[in-house]
Structure 1
């Protein structure tokens, strides 16, 4: 259960309206690496966490904080749009055509769709997409995704910081930059805690005993004109998992004679085909169902023998 407080986590008061900058701030709200993404990402990770205690509580704490960050940014957008487009644009047009052109860059959706408010979109008006979030149920892989999300979010905030001279906007962005700095550390420390608690290795290695033991410590280089990649730590020394030395392959050999040829197409699908692979086998939905039934029967038979 969430409880709502009217008080923001930090002030969101610009010194003056700026409709064009309001459009830019939309990226920090509904962009791929905006606050809506990390908010939903952390909340779903927390909802799906199967370990009551410090991990679930930490994830939910930061997810809840991100709800507040979305509100701060939407409040900032509404205040940057105050008086726009009519009042601000009218004064600008009357005094400075260049300034009028800048203010004319306002996102029309702010006025037409949102009535002078923020939207769950990026700076170009593209709606936020739930496909942006990562919530796999594996805390190691999720925490690594969270570090990257916070880093990208902070980078974009830093870029926006340099695009305004409004002290009120800068003050809020300074706060956001600081929170993104610590959130990166929070997830990195979370990864270390998982390792210390014996819940994860340095990297995701589920079914590690079943993987190709020769290829889990080799670097394949595919440059025909020479590559400097072999100079990096990733191409020499000991692998991070296990005691195997990293093997650098400047001219890796093919490991198969599979030429990747596709089977002849179903003639009823009318794919472009010259007949080199022989005639295709006609198929239809009924045939697919029959094959599916055969597959099930085979699995049951195998399980009983």
Structure 2
């Protein structure tokens, strides 16, 4: 599970606006070799790691730190843009905000029409049998952050918009289970195995001979 701490690993405050450099930083954030890519790569390496203990912990730790780097870069880019006095940048941002206003209204209108036409209802998908839903978790607000302000929202207490329940606030996950042990790879895939490499090599050779 991931938890969010409302702190940054390092200061992400620029000295002055620079919309051009903010655009270049977007490649560092989400490009082919950017922080988002790296965070996901380390994450999948950790989830697929066959070695228990320190090696898997190492990968999980780096993956978590990389997500923190994503956060720092995103905030830096936003501040570089918002501080700018460049008329062209301000004009573009004004247009994008206006279009986002339209998109939000489109979704609101579409959701209302779907209900009026009896094509869909809350919660979606309305065709799924509620008897098969883990209803004890359906209206829990789970706080995965060290901030507490979300508890003040209408989504954390009181009746739910679908009329079927009451919201409740839970500070953290309401359920958790231990992480399972790493899987053991087929030695013919040449993955890193918990056992001695020479044994994996021999086992792979035997399987190749028998297949």
Structure ranking higher on relative contact order (CA contacts 8 Å, 6+ apart): 2
Please tell me the TM-score bracket, short chain as reference: 0.3 to 0.5
Q: TM-score, normalised by structure 1?
A: 0.32
